[in-house]
Amino acid sequence: MSIMTDVSPSAARRRSVPRFVWVIAAIVALYLVAGVITPSFATFDNMLVIVRAASITGIVAIGMSYVTISGNLFALSAAALGAFLAVIFALAVGHLGFAAGLAATLLVAILAGMAQGLSISVVGNPIITTLAFSTVFRGLAALFSGNSIVRIDSDIALALGTGRPLGVPTQSWAFIALALVSWALIRRARLGRLLVLSGANPQTAIASGLNVRLATVVAFVALSVGVAIMAVFTVSQFSQAKADLFAGYDFDYIAAVLVGGIALRGGQGSPLQAALGAILIALLQNFMLLNGFTAGLRMTVVGGLVLLATGAFHLLQRRLR
């Protein structure tokens, strides 16, 4: 049920094709087309690159799906928060060691999520609020790092960032684990149900005695934890952090959620869809890079894809209503 998103009576009878099937089809099609057109695409090394990139984007996109499902559209602060948390992690590892650094990063992430969630539940406009928070996070990242590169020298971190247990990068293990845990949380946990119901209809949720404010806070904490995981992996992989990390990545996260077909009106969809969307976006970005697309063209394509996906899913939903 968590993936079925149609609302028309006819769809309920005919069982129309769920959105995630389309996304999988698009992924397979893009993979085949790219493999044929670009020989360097289907090589082992490139696959590794794609899998890592998809995992990193996907971890945040899964976090973002909590926000969207809880009826709060999306956040524009994920990339800036990532930079801030990366700096915190690098500094904390340098001074306190790996484990304490990890704990400190998670703690800061949870606090950042709560601050955003509480503000949004008061203000009621997630986009503007997270836009403001993004500059604050970016500023804090510069403040803490002294606006220079913070290097770390930790073997554990390096192993975490570059290891490949069973031939699969650690990032991807984390991605898969997070996708499954999130799927189970949204589908089975009481808290997940609270998120889904609050997103589906906040008024009915309040009238049913549910704590919609809590749902918003939980969603943003989930996103922040996802961002923290990404930041930790990235810092570990490259052994450094700086304040302008992840700049411009916000749109990839949002695009992943939208292309995955999670309805922006909230209360529908599953984190797995965001994960699939992230894979699709990573494939597309990699394909465009290999073919020497300029940054402008890549950006235009992703922007166009976002517009197309929102417009199309929106119209689809409206027609079915």
Partner 1 sequence: MLRMTNISKRYGATEVLREVALEVRSGEVMALMGENGAGKSTLVKILAGIEPADAGTIEIAGEPVTIRSPRHSQAAGVAYVAQELSIVESLSVAENVFLGDTDAGLFRSPRSLSTKARPFLLKVGLEQVDPLELAENLSVAERQLVEIARLLSRKARIAILDEPTAALSDAEILRVKGAVRTLADNGCAVIYVTHRMAEVFELSTRVTVLRNGRSFPSIETASLTVDTLIEHMLGRKLEQMFPARATRMGESVVELDQCIGHGLLAPISLSVRRGEILALAGQVGSGANAVLRMLAGVLPVASGTMKLRGAAFAPHSIADSIAAKVAYCSDDRKRDGIFAVRSVPENLSAPALDRVSRLQMISPVMESRHTRGIAELFGIDLAYLTRLAGNLSGGNQQKVALGKWLGIEPDVLLVEEPTRGVDVGARAEIYRHLRSLAERGLTVIFASSDTQEVLGLADQIATFYHGRMVRVVSAESSTPESIVRDVIHPTLAA
Partner 2 sequence: MKVSSRSADLLGRLGLMLIVYLVFALHLPSYYSPAGVAALLDSAVLSGLVALGVALTMIAGEMDLSVGSLAALAGILAVKLFPIGVFPSIIVVVLVCAAIGALQGWLIHRIGINSMIFTVGTLIAFRGIALLVSGEKTQLVPLEDIAATDILIGKFGIFSVLSLALFAAAALIFAFTRWTLWGREIFAIGGGRSESRAAGVPIRRPIMIAFALSAALAGLAGALLSLKAGSASPLSYDSLLLEAVAACLIGGISLKGGKGSIVGVLIGLFCIRFLVTGIAALGAPFWAQSLATGLLLIIVIVAEAIFAAAAGRFRLAMRRPAPIIKVPA
Distance in angstroms (rounded) separating the CA atoms of residues 94 and 152: 6
- The site map against partner 2 for 5-44 (x = CB under 8 A) is ----------------------------------------
Helix (H) or strand (E) holding 240: strand 240-241
Distance in angstroms (rounded) separating the CA atoms of residues 79 and 146: 19
Interface pick for partner 1 out of 103, 177, 181, 206 (rule CB under 8 A): 206
**Phi then psi dihedrals of residue 156, to 5 deg:** -60, -45
Q: Which does 182 bind (CB under 5 to 8 A by kind): partner 1, partner 2, none?
A: none
Which span sits near partner 2 by CB under 8 A: 15-23, 86-94, 141-149, 277-285? Answer: 141-149
| Length in residues, the chain | 321
Q: How far is CA 307 from CA 64, 128, 252, in A?
A: 18, 19, 13
Question: 3-state class of 150 per DSSP?
Answer: strand
**What minimum distance in Å lies between the beta carbon of 12 and partner 2?**
23
**What minimum distance in Å lies between the beta carbon of 76 and partner 2?**
8
* CB of 178 or CB of 263, closer to partner 1: 263
Residue 318 binds partner 1, judged by CB under 8 A: no
Segment 72 to 91, residues that bind partner 2, using CB under 8 A: 73-74, 76
Is the distance from CB of 65 to CB of 218 less than 8 angstroms? Answer: no
The count of residues interacting with partner 2 (CB under 8 A) is: 45
Distance in angstroms (rounded) separating the CA atoms of residues 177 and 183: 10
Interface pick for partner 2 out of 17, 124, 184, 291 (rule CB under 8 A): 124
Distance in angstroms (rounded) separating the CA atoms of residues 263 and 267: 8
Q: Which does 49 bind (CB under 5 to 8 A by kind): partner 1, partner 2, none?
A: none
Gap between the terminal Cα atoms of the chain: 18
Q: At what angle do helices 212-238 and 44-69 cross, to 10 degrees?
A: 160
Interface pick for partner 1 out of 50, 61, 205, 282 (rule CB under 8 A): 205
Segment 77 to 136, residues that bind partner 1, using CB under 8 A: none
Cα 133 from chain centroid? 17
**What minimum distance in Å lies between the beta carbon of 246 and partner 2?**
14
Q: Which does 21 bind (CB under 5 to 8 A by kind): partner 1, partner 2, none?
A: none
Question: 3-state class of 241 per DSSP?
Answer: strand
Distance in angstroms (rounded) separating the CA atoms of residues 314 and 262: 11
- The site for partner 1 (CB under 8 A) is made up of 1, 5, 7-9, 12, 188-191, 193-194, 196-197, 200-201, 203-211, 263, 265, 267-268
| Site for partner 2, rule CB under 8 A | 73-74, 76, 119, 122-125, 127-129, 131-136, 138-140, 142-143, 147, 243, 251, 254, 264, 294-304, 306-307, 310-311, 314-315, 318
